[in-house]
Amino acid sequence: MNYKPNEMMTIAAARALKNSDVTFVGIGMPSAAANLARLTHAPDITLIYESGTLATKPTVLPLSIGDGELCETALTTVSVPEMFRYWLQGGRITVGFLGGAQIDRFANLNTTVVGPYDKPKVRLPGGGGAPEIATSCGEIFIIMAQGKRSFVDKLDFITSLGHGEGGDHRERLGVKTKGPTKLVTDLCVFEPDPVTKEMTVTSIHPGVTREQIQDNTGWTVKYADKVAETPAPTEKELTVLRELHARTARAHGEAGGKE
């Protein structure tokens, strides 16, 4: 089956999740990937959204963390303070799924401003719960479309800690969780170097070249000693993902959600 780069990205991210994971899910592409995993190979995965919904099983993708779909399909809903203090900061979540406007080679994320903080070119939505997610979840998966505007040599602002300055910087800051262990883009998959923690390409999506990856990255890309080719999407993965997006479009009255 033919597929789009965004579909490859979402499917590759979904595959990284396990049936036993307790996952803190962001809105947008993280939500699509997490729910695709739930609808395919990980039916027992526990999805948690920032609004306090535990073990939610939405039939369509939520517009925001306050979407009623999340509460209606959740096992239970707790207060936001309980969500953060007991569940998140209590170390009960295995994977946090994040995205961002900018990312650097050590997987630090910016969702605050583009340009100087006092006079930014663009003021972004801000951190929300992402800074806490980045430090409190057992590990972090990041999903982002790859381009030089977003994959930058130096962030304009660090909203969410990745591997900081690299190496053991997280440990020196007193952060005990693993941090970003996987960065999935529409071109490839990155994982941190075991020593330097610089994000390193471990898998390249079908049809993508190393030149394309470098042309869409604001730093000199490093590659693992053995780089795999990402398995192409299966018919089942594509069908389930497309049906999920079609249901969502119909529910929200968008074009493309035809019966």
Rounded to a whole number of angstroms, the CA Rg of the chain reads 18
8 Å CB contact between 101 and 111:
yes
What tokens appear for 45 in the block?
A: 């995965």
Is 211 marked active-site? Answer: no
Using DSSP, state whether 169 is helix, strand or coil: helix
Rounded Cα–Cα distance for residues 15 and 34 (Å): 9
8 Å CB contact between 228 and 202:
yes
Q: Which of 50, 132, 198, 237 is catalytic?
A: 50
In terms of phi and psi (left: phi > 0; alpha: psi -120 to 50; beta: otherwise), the region of 194 is: alpha
Rounded Cα–Cα distance for residues 21 and 128 (Å): 23
Rounded Cα–Cα distance for residues 42 and 34 (Å): 9
Can you tell me which residue has the tokens 């993902």?
241
Q: Which residues are within 8 A (CB) of 29 and not within 5 positions of it... i.e. 6 or more apart?
A: 6, 9, 10, 13, 99, 143, 144
Helix ranges, 179-231 (H)? 210-215
Rounded Cα–Cα distance for residues 207 and 180 (Å): 26
Rounded Cα–Cα distance for residues 182 and 140 (Å): 7
Q: Which residues are within 8 A (CB) of 239 and not within 5 positions of it... i.e. 6 or more apart?
A: none
Give catalytic residues, as residue numbers. 50
